[in-house]
């Protein structure tokens, strides 16, 4: 059995990944959550959980995992914690040979004829000042990960819209923001979970980022 730790298992993405992993042969998922009561309401009373502040958890506590998925979520004011957590996990994985899977943002993807970063477009949205720090910090997280060559990490950026929903047919890409045949750049949590579980069972990407978009229902 592959032991999979899911940071943020009660969040929008994390809960879907946990439920799919729990239903998948050969995977033994454990949710790493801040609030056990809330997590059990979302995942069920029989959910396997490790509760507490991820930043306070010791290497000895986390070294049990073969794979750790970072689906960590926080408010925009504290978005620098994305980078801090990546640094913590890289140090952990370096010592314990753990595979790391990071859910990143779409802001670090390239778009347009000039291949500018999507975060540049996001900054132009009215009132974006209240949340723009999150994609900015997730860009820094990817830039940090791209310097790491001695840990087996992979990053996954969703399409422009990342929302709850069932798995659908999908397309993978590398560093460019993807759109489907209807001109939508959207991916659902069900699709993201399916892609991540497949990547755990049959690794295809190493020390790189890729992206995914729903292409159908």
Mean pLDDT of 170-190: 97
pLDDT in tens, 91-137: 999 999 999 999 999 999 999 999 999 999 999 999 998 999 999 99
- More reliable by pLDDT, 127 or 27: 27
Mean pLDDT of 22-46: 96
Q: What is the pLDDT of residue 136?
A: 94
What are the sequence ranges of the domains in the chain? Answer: 2-214
- Please tell me the distance from the alpha carbon of residue 178 to that of residue 110, in angstroms, as a whole number: 9
Mean pLDDT of 158-180: 97
Cβ–Cβ under 8 Å, residues 101 and 68: yes
- Please tell me the distance from the alpha carbon of residue 135 to that of residue 141, in angstroms, as a whole number: 10
Q: What is the pLDDT of residue 216?
A: 80
Mean pLDDT of the chain: 96
- Please tell me the distance from the alpha carbon of residue 18 to that of residue 138, in angstroms, as a whole number: 22
Q: What is the pLDDT of residue 107?
A: 95
The H or E element that residue 171 is part of is: strand 170-173
Mean pLDDT of 161-166: 97
pLDDT for residue 32 is more than 90: yes
- Please tell me the distance from the alpha carbon of residue 93 to that of residue 99, in angstroms, as a whole number: 7
- Please tell me the distance from the alpha carbon of residue 86 to that of residue 146, in angstroms, as a whole number: 12
- Please tell me the distance from the alpha carbon of residue 138 to that of residue 133, in angstroms, as a whole number: 9
pLDDT for residue 143 is more than 90: yes
pLDDT for residue 217 is more than 90: no
Q: What is the pLDDT of residue 205?
A: 97
pLDDT in tens, 52-84: 999 999 999 999 999 999 999 999 999 999 999
Name the CATH architecture for the domain at 2-214. Answer: 3-Layer(aba) Sandwich (3.40)
């Amino acid at each position: 059995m592959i032991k999979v730790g899911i940071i943020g298992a009660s969040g929008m993405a994390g809960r879907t990944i946990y439920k799919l992993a729990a239903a998948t042969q050969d995977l033994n998922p454990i949710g790493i959550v801040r609030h056990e009561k809330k997590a059990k309401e979302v995942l069920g009373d029989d959910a396997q959980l490790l509760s507490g502040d991820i930043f306070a958890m010791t290497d000895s506590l986390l070294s049990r995992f073969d794979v750790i998925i970072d689906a960590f979520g926080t408010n925009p004011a504290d978005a620098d914690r994305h980078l801090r957590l990546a640094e913590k996990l890289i140090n952990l994985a370096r010592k314990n040979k753990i595979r790391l899977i990071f859910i990143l943002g779409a802001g670090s993807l390239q778009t347009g004829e000039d291949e500018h970063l999507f975060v540049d477009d996001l900054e132009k949205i009215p009132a974006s000042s209240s949340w723009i720090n999150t994609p900015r910090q997730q860009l820094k997280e990817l830039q940090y990960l791209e310097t790491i060559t001695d840990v087996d990490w992979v990053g996954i950026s969703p399409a422009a819209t990342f929302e709850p929903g069932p798995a659908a047919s999908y397309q993978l890409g590398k560093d460019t923001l993807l759109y489907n045949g209807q001109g939508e750049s959207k991916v659902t949590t069900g699709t993201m979970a399916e892609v991540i579980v497949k990547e755990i069972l049959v690794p295809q990407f190493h020390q790189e980022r890729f992206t995914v978009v729903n292409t159908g229902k």
